[in-house]
């Protein structure tokens, strides 16, 4: 049995006042812990006292392992941590879905709807063609026809797969595979 360890995304949380004053005061935290971060922990070891005038707001200025590339509040980073936790082993596929831009967001946030993900995710496949051939078998596309039937013999697989692909998003996955998502 192979066990894959999925790296937890991280957020670099810093003091906004220090940053605006030209001081880079902050540190990396797992996104699942971002709601617990306070001014004292961000300033610890920086040489800048956290009770300094103006030091009142924290901000995520960088992330590692999230499928979005934007600054955000620590609360928003923690919300991504909840998605990471809930997605579990499916996190790499969820992240790929978000990066594709063809995902369904939860409410008016950037967070993906995991129920929509579950409905649309068709798995990791060696290629979209492999997925399409398996789908044709599952749909019993040629059921009741003999192998030498003209319909089977002359079926244009390339055109059918190309047209089928118009309703899917296909994203590169690790190990020379692809993630397949239906678009509706």
| Residue 59 within any structural domain of the chain | yes
Residue 108 belongs to a domain = no
Based on the fold, state whether residues 85 and 128 are members of the same structural domain.
no
Domain that holds residue 6: 1-89
- Does residue 33 contact residue 75 with C-beta atoms inside 8 Å? no
1 and 66 in a single domain? The answer is: yes
Q: How far does the chain reach from its first CA to its final CA, in angstroms? A: 34
**pLDDT > 70? residue 12:** yes
The Cβ of residue 24 has, within 10 Å, a number of other Cβ atoms equal to 11
What mean pLDDT is predicted for residues 26-30?
96
Q: What is the pLDDT of residues 98-137, one digit of tens each?
A: 999 999 999 999 999 999 999 999 999 999 999 999 999 9
| Mean pLDDT of all residues in 145-164 | 92
- Spell out the residues 6+ positions from residue 81 whose beta carbon is closer than 8 angstroms to its own: 8, 9, 30, 31, 32, 33, 34
- Assign 164 a pLDDT band (cuts: 50, 70, 90): very high
Task: Let me know whether 174 and 134 are in one domain.
Answer: yes
Shared domain check, 135 and 63: no
Q: What is the pLDDT of residue 3?
A: 53
pLDDT of residue 153: 87
High-pLDDT (> 70) share of the chain, %: 97
Look at residue 104 and tell me if it is in a domain.
Answer: no
- Identify the CA nearest to 57 among candidates 74, 78, 35: 74
pLDDT tens sequence across 44-80: 877 777 677 788 999 999 999 999 999 999 999 999 9
> In terms of domains, do 66 and 32 share one?
yes
What is the distance between the alpha carbons of residues 117 and 123, in angstroms, rounded to a whole number?
A: 11
DSSP state of 72: B
Is the residue at 103 inside a domain?
A: no
Q: Give me the pLDDT at residue 11, please.
A: 97
Say whether both 3 and 82 belong to one domain. Answer: yes
- Average pLDDT of the chain? 93
- Do 21 and 75 have their domain in common? yes
> What is the reported pTM?
0.88
77 with 117, same domain: the answer is: no
Amino acid 47: pLDDT: 74
Digit-coded pLDDT (tens) for 127-152: 999 999 999 999 998 998 888 888 88
Tell me: do 139 and 69 sit in the same domain: no
The total number of structural domains that make up the chain:
2
The mean pLDDT of 76-87, rounded to a whole number, is 97
My answer on whether 118 and 154 are in the same domain is yes
What's the CA gap between 65 and 85, in Å, rounded? Answer: 13
Question: Is residue 98 situated within a structural domain?
Answer: no
64 in a structural domain: yes
Q: Both 142 and 183 in a single domain? A: yes
Report the pLDDT value the prediction gives residue 152, as an integer from 0 to 100: 86
Asked if residue 34 belongs to a domain, the reply is: yes
């Amino acid at each position: 049995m192979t066990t894959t360890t999925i790296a937890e995304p991280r957020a670099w949380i810093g003091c906004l006042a220090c940053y605006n004053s030209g001081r880079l005061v902050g540190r990396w935290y797992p996104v699942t812990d971002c709601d617990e971060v306070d001014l004292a922990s961000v300033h610890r070891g920086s040489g800048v006292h956290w009770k300094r005038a103006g030091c009142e707001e924290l901000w995520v200025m960088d992330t590692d392992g999230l499928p979005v590339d934007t600054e955000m509040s620590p609360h928003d980073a923690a919300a991504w941590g909840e998605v990471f936790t809930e997605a579990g082993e499916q996190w790499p596929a969820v992240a790929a879905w978000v990066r594709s831009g063809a995902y369904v967001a939860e409410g008016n946030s950037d967070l993906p709807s995991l129920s929509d993900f579950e409905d649309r995710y068709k798995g990791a496949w060696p290629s979209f063609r492999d997925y399409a051939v398996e789908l044709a078998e599952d749909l019993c596309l040629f059921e009741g026809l003999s192998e030498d039937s003209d319909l089977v013999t002359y079926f244009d697989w390339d055109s059918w797969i190309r047209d089928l692909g118009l309703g899917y998003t296909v994203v590169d996955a690790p190990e020379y595979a692809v993630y397949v998502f239906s678009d509706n």
